[in-house]
Amino acid sequence: MTIGDVIKKYRKNLGITQEEMAARLGVTAPAVNKWEKGSTLPDVSLLAPIARLLGITTDELLSFRDELTDEEIIQYLQKIQKDLDSEDFHDVFLAVKKTIEEYPNCEKLIWQAAVILDARRMVDDLPDKDRYDHVIFGWFERCLHSSDEFIRCQAADSLFYASVRKEDYEKASQYLKYFSLENPHRKSKEAFINSKTGKKADAYRAYEELIFSGYQLLQKTLNDLRILYMEDEDHEMVKKLVEVSSAIASVFEMGKYDEICYGLDVAAWENDEEQETQIMRELLECIDTIGSFTKSRLYQHMAFKNTEPDFVSGLKQKLLESLGDEVFDYMKGNADWQKLSRKNEDAAAND
C-alpha cells in the first residue's frame, strides 16, 4: 500500500471526511485529496501528526510493517482467489508481486500466495505459464529459509513437485534435505525419485517400509485410544477398537497371533473369564505365527531376520508364566483356565 492508500484506509475507518482531517492537521482539503490519490506526499513534519490522528505508527503509515495479521492474510488470499476468477492472470500476478514487495518478510503471505498462483496457472493451463517460474519459485526459495519448520517443509514440497513436473529428479532430490529423516513424506519422495531413476528395488523397499511403519503407528494410536476409552468405561468403543486392530493386522498380513492378541487385556479389564480363556488358548496355539509377516509378499523387498525357534519357545514360556500374573487373579477359580495352564505347562516340559 502507498502512503496515500494507508491514509485513505484509516481515515475511512475513523469515519472522518477529507475536510475534517485537513482541519485537524491545519492543511487544506485538496492537499489531503492529493495525498490519497498519490499526486503528492505529506510534508515530513506532518508524518507524526497524521499517524497520531489515524491511530497508527509512522512505520504503518509508511507501509514499513514487516508482517500482516493472520486475519489480514486470509482476507488477502481470498481476494486473490476472487480476482483470479474475474481478471487476467498476469494482472493478478503483478498485483500480488507488488504486495509481496511491500511485505518482504511476511513469509506466511509469500508462501500461500505462491501456492495459489502456482496451482492456478497449472489448472488453467496457461499457454505461457513457464514465464512465471522464476518469480514464483523464487518466492518458494525465500520460504526455505523461514524459521517456521512448517513453512520450510511446505515450500520444499512445492519446489519438489515443481522439479518433478519438469522431470528434473536430481534437483527434486535436493529439496529432501528440508524434511527430517523421520518424516514419512521424505521417504515417500525418495521412493518416487528412485522409481523414476532406475532404482526400482530401492523404491519397492522404501514403499514397503512405509507400509510396515504405518502399521506400527496405526496400532500404537489405536492402543492409546483404547486405553483412553477404558479409563472412561466406554466398553462399546473399546471393543470396536479391538475389532479395528484385529482387522488391520489381517489386512497388513501380520499373522494370526497379531489378529488375536489385542483383545486379551480388554477381556481381563472386563473380567470376562470365558473370553479370556478363549483368547489365551488361541494365542498359545498360534504363537508360531509371530513373524509370519516376513513371508508376506507385501514386504518381499524388505530384509528381516529369521525368527529363531528359541525365541518362539521363550515367548510361549513367558505367556504361560503370565497366566499367574496379578491381572489374572480373577481367573484363579476358573477350571478351564487352570486346565489350560496345566496342559500347556506339560506340553512345554515335553518340548
Per-residue pLDDT, 344: 58
Q: Among 73-77, 122-126, 310-314, which stretch is predicted with the lowest mean pLDDT?
A: 310-314
- pLDDT tens-digit series, residues 265-299: 899 899 898 998 899 889 888 888 888 899 999 99
Cell of 66: 514487516
DSSP 175: G
Number of domains in the chain: 3
Q: Residue 130 sits in a domain of what CATH number?
A: 1.25.40
Whole-structure pTM value: 0.70
Residues 6 or more apart from 266 whose CB is under 8 A from it?
226, 230, 238, 239, 242
Q: Do both 43 and 119 map to the same domain?
A: no
Beta strands (DSSP E) in the chain are: none
Q: What is the DSSP letter of 56?
A: S
Asked whether residue 123 falls in the same domain as residue 250, the answer is no
The predicted pLDDT at position 60 comes to 80
CB 315 within 8 A of CB 290: yes
Find out whether 54 and 4 touch, Cβ atoms under 8 Å.
Answer: no
Q: Are 317 and 351 in contact (CB under 8 A)?
A: no
Fill in the amino acid letter for 78.
Q
Domain co-membership, 207 together with 147: no
Do residues 213 and 301 share a domain?
A: yes
Copy the grid coordinates of residue 177.
534435505
Neighbouring C-beta atoms of residue 178, cutoff 10 Å: 18
| pLDDT mean over 306-333 | 76
pLDDT tens-place string over residues 84-103: 999 999 999 999 998 888 78
pLDDT of residue 143: 95
The answer to the question of residue 142 being in a domain is: yes
Torsion angle defined by CA atoms of residues 146, 147, 153 and 159, in that order, rounded to the nearest 10 degrees: 10
- Lowest-confidence region among 30-34, 62-66, 316-320: 62-66
**Are 229 and 346 in a shared domain?**
yes
What is the mean pLDDT of the segment spanning 295-310?
A: 86
Residue 75 class from Cβ within 10 Å (0-12 exposed, 13-18 middle, 19+ buried)? exposed
Instruction: Tell me how many degrees the CA angle 250-253-254 measures, rounded to the nearest 5.
Output: 90
C-alpha–C-alpha distance, residues 114 and 136, integer Å? 6
Q: Are residues 9 and 83 in the same domain?
A: no
Structural domain containing residue 20: 3-61
> 10 Å Cβ neighbour count for 119?
11
Q: For residue 343, what pLDDT band results from cuts at 50, 70 and 90?
A: low
